[in-house]
Chains A and B, each alone.
Chain A
Amino acid sequence: MSPGAATNGHVTRTKTSELLRFATAGSVDDGKSTLIGRLLFDSKQILVDQLDHVVQTSERRGDGYVNFALLTDGLRAEREQGITIDVAYRYFQTPRRKFIIADTPGHEQYTRNMVTGASTADLSVVLIDARKGVSEQTRRHVYIASLLRIPHLVVCINKMDLVGYDEDVFDRLVYEVTDWAARLEILDITFIPISALHGDNVVDRSSSMSWYGGPPLLYHLEHVCIAPDRNLADVRFPVQWVVRPMTVEHHDYRGYAGQVAGGILRPGDEVVVLPGGRRTRISAIDTYDGEIEAAFPTMSVTLRLADDVDVSRGDMICLADDPPVAAREIEANVCWMGERPLEPGARYAIKHTTRSARAVVEALEHRIDVNTLEHEPADELGLNQIGRVRLRVSSPVLVDPYSRNRTTGSFILIDEATNDTVGAGMVVGVA
């Protein structure tokens, strides 16, 4: 689309537009902030006062260029030290889609922030400086995107202007990344040659790279197909809240509210309530706007059941013939986010879907070197490290492998002394 196609990049009378969440990671050197600035600016999302602020602050700091990083780096410490502390969320919209960018810094707390941003992303944008080639950081980006199973990966070969828009440079880097990524499970990978600084292939097609036959980045973001990424096969409905009005009008009403985590639910479906195992039927799917005929991820709805079964928060409603595993022992990849390392024997609170329990680390099986992908033996998992653990849980958790369902396959670990979230876990299997 041309940047001026819609008023302010929005369209007032949209039919329906979809939501796409994407993560970007990296440092200023990669041109990441320039790229985000370019996307926002060319799609007319940066407003006059925001741009004024960035221009003025850039001048005051003596940056010598319009430093788009200042758009997202809003905290006092960040501006004083010229660093990005945390995941920043930015929003922009085109007639087709609304985008949520989780923008994560490349240095301090790198893994922790990238994993956080990646956990909800449909797509990840990785930048490579065409002059420097594949760096250690590139490999970490790609690895984390694959570990978190972000369905779509876009590798932007940036600064093409500085290599004379040379097709051979692009081809060489595509080969290098593809070769390395072959060892990982990556569902969909796309390469785009760009110059964020000049805007080549960001919003508009570049006139300097006629050899490139693919779409510009924004076109790709607008058209990449995300609907099939959710698991629509296995019905998973973690019960969040029981709606019991206890009023005269709704005296016998009892509804089980939650957000669909997998599959498609319909009235009449034979279901099982886990972990109890009672079978019943869905009698209705309620929303504030009335009963509906089907519910799918990520809808928040309220189910009514045909029989008077005991259901409470933490239970999961599934189709009778396709339940998840109720496990006391789970194998998982864990990204560690705590100051104090994870050690075998340590106990944590675990939160999985709407269920909370306690977990003890039975074993730390290996640590993963994110640069070489080697598994190495380890006694502990430090801040920003990733490893494979075996956990024993105080009461059964209803899990699927993370590769099958990102909601029922993920959990967090909480330090009970500090209440901090210290670990992000992805279920590999059950013991």
Chain B
Amino acid sequence: MSVTARPQLSHLRALESEAIHVMREVAAEFERPVLLFSGGKDSIVLLRLAEKAFRPAGFPFPIMHVDTGHNFPEVIEFRDRRIAELGERLIVSHVQDSIDAGRVVEETGPRASRNRLQTITLLDALEQNGFDAAFGGARRDEERARAKERVFSFRDDFGQWDPKRQRPELWSLYNGRINRGEHVRVFPISNWTELDVWRYITVEGLEVPSIYFAHRRPVFERDGMLYAHSPHVELIEDERPFEVSVRYRTVGDMTCTGAVRSDATTLEGVVAEIAATRITERGETRADDRVTDAAMEDRKREGYF
């Protein structure tokens, strides 16, 4: 950051500054915050913002990953390396443990996914650790329900979001008052778009998991989307795996995250493809949002990210 003749921040630096402000407010006003990390690009940006907010000290909160067991191996490898570099504390909550404990029942069949089950694992982990604020990398441009969610998103003691009872958010004054058992999800990059995230990754020189770049992978086509051929997904009769050059726009479970055909092997290439795209990231690659018109809202009400 350098000071120009005119004291006006570029839009990326203005967004960055807003996010740092939000993170420091949370650190100051909550007893036990946690940063939710998925290994995806948005939470990679959150880690950099936390460095900007708190260095040279350590983060005043641990990092938590909800591992469905169906994650891309490249992402898990990246996660462990990145957290080690940062020297911060990582908590991993496993959906498998929730299944083993009988808290949730595994879906079966070719369309089975653990995506929905992770809500319970997350809520249990928040409660067990006594976390009262959880940072997430959600953005308002992702989805219609998210467009109306606050930066400080209040959750009741069942982890539920009530879109009609949100607190007004004025100026840069955030109301973090809660009762015991309740918590707040905090979204510091609410006002960023997908392109902002990629531009930030580029200017900051951040590493992202290799699956964000074009690579050859065996995939199969279902409902017009390309999915990774993996042991976690049963194929339906006519589905035949084939190999093609793809990259991922979002990082979720292998079972519900689609790939896009791409030849972009560099950050610049990815940014150029995204700038030229005509489909939103969740529309293109997330089966979990296609279930109903209000799929995201319904999951959020239950306590999803």
Q: Which residues of A contact B (CB under 8 A)?
A: 7-8, 10-12, 16-19, 47-50, 53, 57, 71-77, 79, 85-91, 93, 97-98, 100, 112-113, 115-116, 119-120, 226-227, 230, 232, 240-241, 243-247, 249-250, 253, 257-259, 264, 287-289, 292-294, 296-300, 313, 337, 349, 351-352, 354, 406-407, 410-412, 414, 416, 419-421, 424
Residues 159-207 of B contacting A (Cβ, < 8 Å): 163-164, 166-173, 175, 177-179, 190-191, 193, 195-196
Q: Which among A49, A75, A313, A407 is the interface contact of B148 at CB below 8 angstroms?
A: A75
Closest to B58 in A: A245
Residues 244-276 of B contacting A (Cβ, < 8 Å): 268, 271-272, 275-276
The interface size of chain B toward A, counting residues with CB under 8 Å, comes to 70
Given contacts A17-B10, A294-B3, A337-B168, contact A244 B57 (CB under 8 A): yes
Task: Please indicate the chain A residues that have their CB under 8 angstroms from the CB of B175 in the complex.
Answer: 351, 412, 414, 419-421
Most chain A Cβ neighbours within 10 Å, of B24, B58, B279: B24
Closest to A294 in B: B3
Task: Please indicate the chain B residues that have their CB under 8 angstroms from the CB of A8 in the complex.
Answer: 275-278
Q: Which among A7, A112, A120, A296 is the interface contact of B3 at CB below 8 angstroms?
A: A296
Given contacts A93-B195, A244-B57, contact A75 B297 (CB under 8 A): yes
Q: Are A292 and B2 in contact (CB under 8 A)?
A: yes
Closest to A44 in B: B278
Most chain B Cβ neighbours within 10 Å, of A18, A354, A407, A421: A421
Task: Please indicate the chain A residues that have their CB under 8 angstroms from the CB of B277 in the complex.
Answer: 8, 47
Given contacts A74-B144, A75-B148, A85-B163, contact A47 B280 (CB under 8 A): yes
Q: Which residues of B contact A (CB under 8 A)?
A: 1-3, 6-11, 13-18, 20-21, 24-25, 27-28, 51-58, 140-141, 143-145, 147-148, 163-164, 166-173, 175, 177-179, 190-191, 193, 195-196, 268, 271-272, 275-280, 283-284, 293-294, 297-298
A-B contact pairs, 19 of them (CB 8 A): A10-B195, A11-B275, A18-B14, A47-B277, A47-B280, A49-B284, A76-B297, A76-B298, A88-B147, A88-B148, A90-B147, A116-B169, A240-B21, A246-B57, A247-B57, A296-B7, A354-B28, A419-B175, A424-B168
For the complex, give the distance between the alpha carbons of A419 and B184 in Å. Answer: 13
Given contacts A86-B163, A98-B196, contact A75 B6 (CB under 8 A): no
For the complex, give the distance between the alpha carbons of A406 and B172 in Å. Answer: 10
Q: Are A12 and B148 in contact (CB under 8 A)?
A: no
Q: Are B145 and A74 in contact (CB under 8 A)?
A: yes
Q: Are A293 and B3 in contact (CB under 8 A)?
A: yes
Closest to A354 in B: B28
Q: Which among A11, A50, A232, A298 is the interface contact of B18 at CB below 8 angstroms?
A: A298
Q: Are B168 and A421 in contact (CB under 8 A)?
A: yes
Q: Are A89 and B191 in contact (CB under 8 A)?
A: yes
Given contacts A75-B148, A91-B193, contact A298 B170 (CB under 8 A): no
Other contacts beyond A113-B168, A288-B51: 15, CB < 8 A: A76-B294, A91-B193, A120-B170, A226-B8, A247-B56, A253-B56, A253-B57, A287-B52, A292-B2, A297-B7, A299-B1, A300-B53, A411-B173, A412-B175, A419-B175
- Rounded to whole Å, the gap between the CB of A354 and the closest CB of chain B is 7
Closest 6 CB pairs of A and B: A74-B144, A49-B283, A16-B10, A19-B11, A300-B20, A245-B57
